[in-house]
Each structure stands twice: as C-alpha cells, then as structure tokens.
Amino acid sequence: MFPITLKEIYDANLVRFKDGVALLGRGAEYLTTPITVEVTRASQTAIDRIEELGGKVVCVYHNRLAMRALLHPEKFAVLPKSAMPATARLQRFYRDPSRRGFLAPGVKDEYAPQSFNTDRRPNPAAAAAANAGLE
C-alpha cells in the first residue's frame, strides 16, 4: 500500500496549504478503507479512525525549503536534505508516539516517511527536463 503524502494531496487539489496539512476527524465515519497517510499534524479522532481500519498515520515535519522541494521538485536540480524540527516544541511534538510523529520511537522504527529526504540527491525529473530542452 502506497502512502498518501502531502505531494499527492497537493496535486489532487484537495486543499490549499502553506505550512502543511492537518488531518481532522470530521467525517471520519465515511472512511471505510485502510490508508497510510503522511500529514503535518493529525487529530486524535482521525488517528483512531484510520488505525481502527488497519491504516497508519505519520506526522512529518517539513521546513519551507523541504516543503517547496516536495511540492515542486521540478524546480530543483538536487533535492535538498530535509531539516529536523527547529524548535524544542516541534521536536517534542514529532517525538510523541501518541501524535504519531515521525521521530517517535515506535513510528520511526516501523516506517520511514516517503516525503522526508535524509540526504541530498539528484532530481531525475529535473535532469530529464534539462535533457529534453537540449534536443
């Protein structure tokens, strides 16, 4: 099962966002299929419903540069390394297992976020676009 990341949510025009997406529990009764979703924040109601169905919620931090690289990778020849949460408050949030933060002991051992770059790497989409422009 492939995760639903912020990039898929953005590409589908489901929501407009600047600093990420908060997953809320309103309308949880309509969810009937297990999903894996990566969001910036999630309410306890949303987490409970998704996990009740056998899905998974992971809250992932993205600073401005990482968010821009995630949403518009075609603008980067080299995708930047994602930053860790900047403040102590954010670090506590993303290390909290009850919030399903990506740094929490039970979460980070089981699941590596698809949208979090642990190293700088060449962007194959940008290279392909550059080569197409040369022809």
pLDDT in tens, 62-110: 999 989 988 888 888 888 888 899 999 999 999 999 999 999 998 888 8
Spatial CB neighbours of 28, under 8 Å, sequence gap ≥ 6: 45, 46, 49
pTM confidence score: 0.83
Q: Please list the residues that pair with 4 across neighbouring strands.
A: 37
Is the residue at 135 inside a domain? no
Reading the block at residue 78, the tokens are 């080299």
Spatial CB neighbours of 43, under 8 Å, sequence gap ≥ 6: 22, 23, 24, 25
Total of domains in the chain: 1
Is the residue at 125 inside a domain? no
Is the residue at 28 inside a domain? yes
Q: What is the CA radius of gyration of the chain?
A: 16
Its domain, for residue 66, covers 6-72+81-118
Contact 55, 37 (CB under 8 A): yes
Is the residue at 52 inside a domain? yes
Is the residue at 129 inside a domain? no
**pLDDT tens across 12-63, in order?**
988 877 788 999 999 888 989 999 999 999 999 999 999 999 999 999 999 9
What local confidence, expressed as pLDDT, does residue 128 receive?
65
Place of tokens 């407009």: 16
Is the residue at 39 inside a domain? yes
* CA distance linking residue 16 with residue 80, whole number of Å: 23
Is the residue at 58 inside a domain? yes
Q: Judge residue 37's burial from the number of C-beta atoms within 10 Å of its C-beta, 0-12 exposed, 13-18 middle, 19 or more buried.
A: buried
What local confidence, expressed as pLDDT, does residue 55 receive?
93
Is the sign of the CA dihedral 115, 118, 119, 120 positive or negative? positive
Is the residue at 105 inside a domain? yes
CA-wise closest residue to 82 among 126, 121, 119: 119
Cα angle value 56/60/62 (rounded, 5°) = 155
